[in-house]
Structure 1
Amino acid sequence: MSIHSVKRAQTHLAWDNSIAPVIHVSSGDTVTFDCLDASNGQITASSNAATLASLNVSLLDQVNGPVHIAGAQPGDTLRVDVCGLETADWGWSALIPGFGLLADEFPEPALKVWKLVRNSAGKDVSGNGEYGYAWFNEEKGIKVPLKPFCGEMGVAPGKDGAHSTIPPYATGGNIDTRHLTAGSTLYLPVEVPGALFSIGDGHAAQGDGECGTAIETPMKVTVRLTVLKEKPYVKTPHFTTRNPHAGTEEFYCTTGVDSDIREATRAAVRNMITFLGVEHGLGAVEAYMLCSVAGDLRMHEVVDMPNYVIGIMMPKSIFTKT
């Protein structure tokens, strides 16, 4: 196993399979990325709401990479193990005109700069939710726990041309899924040779769905990239996580990605039915019933149009025979 790094300046602003990789790695190698915040460095710890007036939105949500993984071919699955995350000591949340679930009701720009109080280790390598905290309002006693993750993780689409980094896709992208903390594993469908993996959009904390904003922050993230040949049923992002938001239960999640929220939800359930059939030998009727009685539907990403990401999370503890 080798360890590689992608520098802060090695970024791109579109998912495009014609973008040359910045590094080539072998399957199973570890890569560390040094990522700016989602504003691409336009917002700093000393910024205020006036900064948003000059914000160049065409520079938002850049991603670091792409990384070519040897042996990855269309139809394969890329396994992304999130090994470690390190935020800056500050972050920001903003209401940017035109963005967010209630953008029409909150047209004025607003910015909050946070001080991030990290634990003594300064990084999350365990996924146990003990990374640190930030005061939302210390006078009123409102404190937010820090649970860092990267909002953007994806591979290049098979369809030629440039595709915006703002929405999520079946190949990943801006999936903004808060459960992808350290210790989790993401599975992505490979559509081009080498997969061409990229990552960015560091979040120190965010609620499910990211209805308006997250705590955006520069992030150093380390992932292990492994090519899998035995999971051809992965057609949208799947992941496993030891849920840091509700105890130590471990989940397997399938997602649906669609411009219609109901269709995204239906697709997530269909993908779980397929997973249960392949991995646990269940018939479709059995699997659908199990989804209904044991699966939790979650809105992972609902603001970056035109697509939604809906997931169904299945507790792994219900499978008592390995």
Structure 2
Amino acid sequence: MRVLQPGQGPVPGDAYLPASTDRLTWGRLPCAADAAVLRVDPGSTVTVDTVSHEGILEDQGRDPRAFFGRHGVDPDLVLDDAVAVAASRGLRTAGVDGPHVVTGPIEVAGARPGDLLRMTVLETVRRVPYGVVSNRHGRGALPGEYPVEGTSYSVFAGVDEDADGTAVGTLPLVEGGPHDVRFPLRPFLGIMGVATAGTERPHSVPPGPHGGNIDINLLTTGASLYLPVQVPGALAYVGDPHFAQGDGEVALTAMEASLRVTLRLDVVPAADALEQFGALVGPLAETAEHLVPTGMDADLDVAVQDCTRAAIALLGARYGMAPAFAYAYLSAATDFDISQVVDLVKGVHCRIRKADFARVAAR
């Protein structure tokens, strides 16, 4: 087993951004009043260390070496930056702010409101060989039923390799049992966003037009996220690293664990953005196979409706498809997935196959 401590190991990006306490926020997202901790040109690549909040929170003792030690993790396998965040004072107000550790913000030169920021995930590297899945605050898909006892429950998850060398996540069937349950790992960032206008930092839990805690598990290596720029320089940030997450994230968290990610940050000028995507009002993801519009609302039904409207608008802008025919296509050919139901604002995304429009020249 190995860990990627700050500053150690490969750093493939043009710039490196560690998760030191002077380069992050905890429980809040950057806003226009925040100063950039890194400045880059469009097209630059940045390698960013992210720190999971699991193991450093108050209900876990705010001592990651002790918390993970109870699960058999050697102190040398606990990240130094996680220890530093847990020991910090003044970064977060417990019970008021969210749990997430957010690295940034990064200023992208020339980005202006009206443009889109494209964040492309080039690489994700596991920083530790373990993670945690938690249920707390009477939240999750079954509030009032779970946690069964107390107000929080955290399940320690391991990382192992199959016979072919593929990394998998592991869980026991019961407390203290052998880790006989094995499932695929698909690392991604739960939080990818741009700063909001104004002087008040948004809470880290609910997602919105700025992105933030969108928890879309399609945003693995090779995927891109487009976000409407809200302040000069965009002020991009990332956090909430996951090793694996099912759609819905029903228990409250995914398999939360720290990642080192390399991103490319591009600016799509306003005129090009309008031509390619229409008047984008919220996050849009893209993978090799799919365009992925989103919808977000406290009411899941409204989130589905918003996602449907976003998809109709996208098909019209990109391919010239009439709204009634786009609506029909979505009903016949497109899956609408629940991103998550646990972040106060629920998320829905749909997967439009780009191959379905191979005969149509994009506008």
Report % sequence identity. Answer: 32
For these two proteins, the number of residue pairs brought into alignment is: 299
**How many Å apart are 1:39 and its aligned residue?**
3.4
TM-score normalized by structure 2? 0.77
Is 2:282 aligned against 1:236? Answer: yes
Q: Determine helix, strand or coil for the equivalent of 2:332.
A: helix
Is 2:154 aligned against 1:111? Answer: yes
* Separation in structure 1 between the aligned mates of residue 154 and residue 191 of structure 2, nearest angstrom: 22
**How many Å apart are 1:119 and its aligned residue?**
8.3
* Separation in structure 1 between the aligned mates of residue 40 and residue 166 of structure 2, nearest angstrom: 30
Within 5 Å, give how 1:1-322 maps onto structure 2: 3-9=14-20, 10-13=23-26, 14-15=28-29, 16-39=31-54, 41=56, 42=62, 43=64, 44-47=67-70, 56=94, 58=97, 60-87=99-126, 88-107=128-147, 108=150, 109-117=152-160, 132-137=167-172, 141-212=180-251, 213-229=253-269, 230-232=272-274, 233-242=279-288, 250-305=289-344, 307-321=345-359, 322=361
Pick closer, same or farther for the CA change 1:20–1:166 going to 2, 3 Å. Answer: same
Higher strand share: 1
State the Cα deviation string for residues 172-217 of structure 1 (Å, max 9, x = none): 0011111111111111111111111100111111100211121110
**How many Å apart are 1:141 and its aligned residue?**
4.1
Pick closer, same or farther for the CA change 1:154–1:118 going to 2, 3 Å. Answer: farther
**How many Å apart are 1:7 and its aligned residue?**
1.1
* Separation in structure 2 between the aligned mates of residue 136 and residue 117 of structure 1, nearest angstrom: 10
Gaps of 5+ in 2: 1-11, 57-61, 72-92
Pick closer, same or farther for the CA change 1:34–1:47 going to 2, 3 Å. Answer: farther
* Separation in structure 2 between the aligned mates of residue 34 and residue 153 of structure 1, nearest angstrom: 13
* Separation in structure 2 between the aligned mates of residue 40 and residue 235 of structure 1, nearest angstrom: 35
TM-score normalized by structure 1? 0.86
Query: Aligned letter for 1:111?
Result: S
Q: Which residue of 2 aligns with 1:51?
A: none
- Runs of at least 4 residues off by over 3 Å: 39-44, 55-59, 138-141
Q: Is the 8 A contact 1:40 1:61 kept in 2?
A: no
**How many Å apart are 1:118 and its aligned residue?**
5.7
**How many Å apart are 1:140 and its aligned residue?**
8.0
Q: Determine helix, strand or coil for the equivalent of 1:178.
A: coil
Higher helix share: 2
* Separation in structure 2 between the aligned mates of residue 271 and residue 81 of structure 1, nearest angstrom: 21
Pick closer, same or farther for the CA change 1:189–1:47 going to 2, 3 Å. Answer: farther
Gaps of 5+ in 1: 49-54, 121-129, 243-249
**How many Å apart are 1:296 and its aligned residue?**
0.9
State the Cα deviation string for residues 41-83 of structure 1 (Å, max 9, x = none): 44453246xxxxxx95546102100000011111111111100
Q: Which residue of 2 aligns with 1:126?
A: none
Q: Is the 8 A contact 2:98 2:205 kept in 1?
A: no
* Separation in structure 1 between the aligned mates of residue 211 and residue 311 of structure 2, nearest angstrom: 17
Query: Aligned letter for 1:201?
Result: D
* Separation in structure 1 between the aligned mates of residue 355 and residue 217 of structure 2, nearest angstrom: 21
